[in-house]
A and B are shown apart, each in its own frame.
Chain A
């Protein structure tokens, strides 16, 4: 990436552009891992310093974003071994078992949500509910969902950033997304 080359040459504008592009995503990632805002912000700042200092070590094998996020994950983990967000009890089922009958079929119909063309549904309208729902997820699920569905990273990138297996990534993603759907559905059904 050209910006990275310019950063290597000590170009401040390149630094500013990288900050504009990645700072908020980095904060979101750090916040998904620790509850302390101060710890999250410090880890992100440290990462930026580490990046300008260590930019020669970036070899371009992974994407810059993956490299950056991997540094951040390491900083957050070492800054906050005791700060890790408490994990609420994990529910192993995608859907509350009470919603199925004895044969494993839906006991009551699943109501369709309004389509996007319907002006009652605006994806952005649900952002506040989703933000709250994300806060309620166990930390590891939240981090995976943030990287995959908010940042739009691929499963390979997420595995590389977090140092987890593809299978583990899928389980965390599955539980996280299932839980978010449940919260949105509860909200929709409340009206």
Chain B
């Protein structure tokens, strides 16, 4: 059995694998190496958590509503188009 140590990938490499890891596109070997590294490395584990929190926070920036004016403009546009 091959024993991998966290240092088998450097932190500099681990941070580049984060998106592929979250997307589920790492090969099985790479995923194992990545997860092993994360378990043994508090810094990269904190980094991964920050990326997850970033994604979550980004999901909240879109919550602005359509203004009534913009909606009315579009409805008028629709009526004009339909009456043609």
Q: Verify if B1 is at the interface (C-beta below 8 Å from A).
A: no
Instruction: Decide: A19 near B74, CB < 8 A? Known: A170-B20, A170-B23.
Output: yes
| B25-70 at interface with A (beta carbon < 8 Å) | 25, 42-44, 46-47, 49-51, 53-62, 64-66, 70
Q: How far does the Cβ of B26 sit from chain A's closest Cβ, in whole Å?
A: 11
Besides the contacts A19-B66, A23-B66, A123-B59, what 17 more A-B pairs have beta carbons closer than 8 Å?
A: A15-B75, A24-B66, A25-B62, A104-B11, A109-B42, A109-B46, A110-B46, A123-B57, A123-B60, A150-B62, A151-B62, A170-B20, A174-B19, A174-B20, A177-B55, A184-B50, A184-B53
| A1-60 at interface with B (beta carbon < 8 Å) | 10, 12, 15-16, 19-20, 23-25, 28, 45, 48-49, 52-53
Contact of B13 among A104, A110, A145, A181 (CB under 8 A): A104
A-B residue pairs in contact (CB < 8 Å), sample of 17: A19-B75, A20-B66, A24-B62, A24-B64, A105-B11, A105-B43, A106-B43, A110-B43, A110-B50, A127-B57, A173-B19, A174-B18, A177-B54, A177-B58, A181-B51, A184-B50, A184-B57
